[in-house]
Amino acid sequence: MMNLSTMIAYGYRHCTPPIKQLLNYTTFLHLHHHHHHLQGRPLSFNSLNLPNLNLLLTGNCLFFRMQRFWIGNGINKNKQMVEHLQRYGVISSIKVAEVMETIDRALFVPDGASAYADSPMAIGYNATISAPHMHATCLQLLEQNLQPGMHALDVGSGTGYLTACFAIMVGPQGRAVGVEHIPELVASSIKNIEKSAAAPLLKEGSLSVHAGDGRQGWPECAPYDAIHVGAAAPEIPQALLDQLKPGGRMVIPVGNMFQDLKVVDKNMDGSISIRSETSVRYVPLTSRDAQLRGY
Ligand code: SAH
């Protein structure tokens, strides 16, 4: 059995400011026994009985009551999810609310999963789709750098959900690029996007997803106004700093066991300013071999 410090929840705000605490609950997932049958399940109570998972969780009881309320009343709709995030102060931006309403999260989670629960979810290959409140937080931090015509890079694009949101925000004159190192996830993310409101952008070429090591960025469409990294880096990759435009912003979880969501601004003179937004838990930004070890 693992001790508390070695347990982890992916794509989560780990500690939150008081105003957002209603959404702050923490799921702990054993790192090395990520079983296939967990795929598509929210990492929550119902995973507890599964053998060998060594799952342990603490929770904000109010949250779980709210979640049961949602499911119990069948209001598990994308719009309600967004309204919920607005009501609890996670989303304050109209633009971010609009894009999250436009891109239906259900198209990006495994079939049968409770798409609208505010929880990260296993998507296979030791990867997860981040919780809606983390997607909202990152979109909001990047909003000024996702204006029409701008260039955005999504490293570790996973399901393609955020890449699709970026593409909608930067529009047909902009460029949204996803880079993901698991080819199967690249393929499924493209299928997801094709079913979504971002499909025309994919077809017309302002949105693309590529298989590759995201630590190298994607030089072809650089420099970027916005870079999002969906996996935790031990340190900020130099290639990503290089591909950030002056005036550009990168949002990246940094750390190993303990991670901070860093907001990295490249100033007009090329200097870099970094601040920590919040504590989070993400899957590691690593090599494909390291990620798939034991999977
Ligand atoms: N934002 C995504 C997060 C997926 S989890 C979503 O919500 O769907 C993080 C993703 O980063 C995983 O899909 C994992 O495969 C990918 N990843 C990890 N290291 C990587 C690397 N070096 N290059 C590209 N992708 C990487």
Ligand 1 atom closest to residue 10's alpha carbon, by position in its atom list:
5
Ligand 1 pocket mutation, candidates 285, 289, 292, 295, criterion most atoms within 8 A of CB: 285
* Reduced 3-state DSSP string for the chain: CCCHHHCECCCEEEECCHHHHHHCCEEEECCCCCCHHHCCCECCHHHCCCCCCCCEEECCHHHHHHHHHHHHHCCCCHHHHHHHHHHCCCCCCHHHHHHHHHCCHHHCCCCCCCCCCCCCEEEECCEEECCHHHHHHHHHHHHHHCCCCCEEEEECCCCCHHHHHHHHHHCCCCEEEEEECCHHHHHHHHHHHHCCCCHHHHHHCCEEEEECCHHHCCHHHCCEEEEEECCEECCCCHHHHHCEEEEEEEEEEEECCCEEEEEEEECCCCCEEEEEEEEEECCECCCHHHHHCCC
Q: How far is the CA of 209 from the centre of ligand 1 (A)?
A: 12
Each residue's pLDDT tens digit, 154-208: 999 999 999 999 999 999 999 999 999 999 999 999 999 999 999 999 999 999 9
Question: How confident is the model at residue 221, as a pLDDT?
Answer: 98
In a domain, residue 28? The reply is: no
Ligand 1 atom closest to residue 287's alpha carbon, by position in its atom list:
22
Question: How confident is the model at residue 95, as a pLDDT?
Answer: 98
In a domain, residue 204? The reply is: yes
In a domain, residue 120? The reply is: yes
pTM: 0.81
In a domain, residue 65? The reply is: no
Residue 66 and residue 107: Cα distance in Å, rounded?
23
Going by C-beta distance under 8 Å and a sequence separation of 6 or more, which residues neighbour residue 73?
Answer: none
Q: How far is the CA of 267 from the centre of ligand 1 (A)?
A: 27
How many domains, the chain? 1
Active-site annotation holder among 44, 114, 119, 130: 130
In a domain, residue 182? The reply is: yes
Nearest CA to ligand 1 atom 10: 156
Ligand 1, pocket residues at CB < 6 Å = 125, 127-130, 156-159, 161-162, 179-182, 185, 213-215, 230-231, 283, 285-286, 291
Containing domain of residue 79, as a range? Answer: 74-293
In a domain, residue 178? The reply is: yes
Counting other chains too, the contacts that 249-255 makes at CB distance below 8 Å and 24 or more residues apart are 249/141, 249/142, 249/144, 249/145, 249/225, 250/226, 251/138, 251/141, 251/142, 251/226, 251/227, 251/277, 252/227, 252/228, 253/229, 253/280, 253/282
For the chain, which residues score pLDDT lower than 50? 1-9, 15-38, 41-61, 72-75
Nearest CA to ligand 1 atom 1: 230
Q: Is 188 a catalytic residue?
A: no
In a domain, residue 45? The reply is: no
CATH number at residue 268: 3.40.50.150
Nearest CA to ligand 1 atom 7: 129
In a domain, residue 62? The reply is: no
